[in-house]
Amino acid sequence: MTKMSDFDEYKRLGEPEKAEKSEIWQAAIGLQQVDGLTPSEYLIKTAMQNIEGELTIYEVQERLNSYYMAKPVKTADDRTEEADKVSARIAEILSEKTFSFSPAEYFMIHKRLFAGIYEFAGRIRDYNIS
C-alpha cells in the first residue's frame, strides 16, 4: 500500500528536483488534511509518478479527472475527489516559480483550486462561514 510517508524517501535520496516535488506534494496533501480531507491512494501513486518525472502536473490532473469521471456516484459526505483535485491544483501553484500574494492573487488562487467543485470559487462570500 502506498502512503504519504513514501514521499520522505525522495528527500533522503538527495535528488534536488525529486526532493522539491516531494515537499510540494506533501504540503499540498497536508493542506487538505488540515480540513479533515484524506487523499486517495490513487492520488498518492499518481503524485509519485509526477515526482519520478513520469507524468507532468497536467497529466496528473487529467488522470484524476478521468478517474473520477469513471468512478461510481459518491456519497454526499465523501470528499476524496475534492481532496485529490485540490491537492493537485495546490501542487501546480506551488511548482510555479513566480508568486505574489495580493488580494487579486488570493481570489485567483481560490478560483484555480475550487473551480468545478464549488460555485463560489474565486468570489468573496457574502455570508458568515464560521
- Expressed as residue numbers, the domain containing 67 is 4-95
Q: Of 43-52, 61-70, 94-103, which gets the smallest average pLDDT?
A: 94-103
On whether both 74 and 24 belong to a single domain, the answer is yes
On whether both 52 and 111 belong to a single domain, the answer is no
- Cell numbers linked to 4: 504519504
Give residue 26's pLDDT.
Answer: 94
Confidence band for 122, pLDDT divided at 50, 70 and 90 = confident
Give residue 92's pLDDT.
Answer: 94
On whether both 117 and 62 belong to a single domain, the answer is no
On whether both 113 and 74 belong to a single domain, the answer is no
On whether both 87 and 124 belong to a single domain, the answer is no
On whether both 22 and 48 belong to a single domain, the answer is yes
On whether both 48 and 83 belong to a single domain, the answer is yes
Which residue in 68, 76, 1, 82 sits closest to 39, CA to CA?
82
On whether both 58 and 84 belong to a single domain, the answer is yes
On whether both 89 and 107 belong to a single domain, the answer is no
On whether both 117 and 84 belong to a single domain, the answer is no
On whether both 70 and 49 belong to a single domain, the answer is yes
Q: What is the mean pLDDT of residues 40-50?
A: 95
Contacts (Cβ under 8 Å, ≥6 apart) of 101: none
Residue 51 or 123, more confident: 51
Tell me how many domains the chain contains: 2
Give residue 2's pLDDT.
Answer: 53
Give residue 13's pLDDT.
Answer: 64
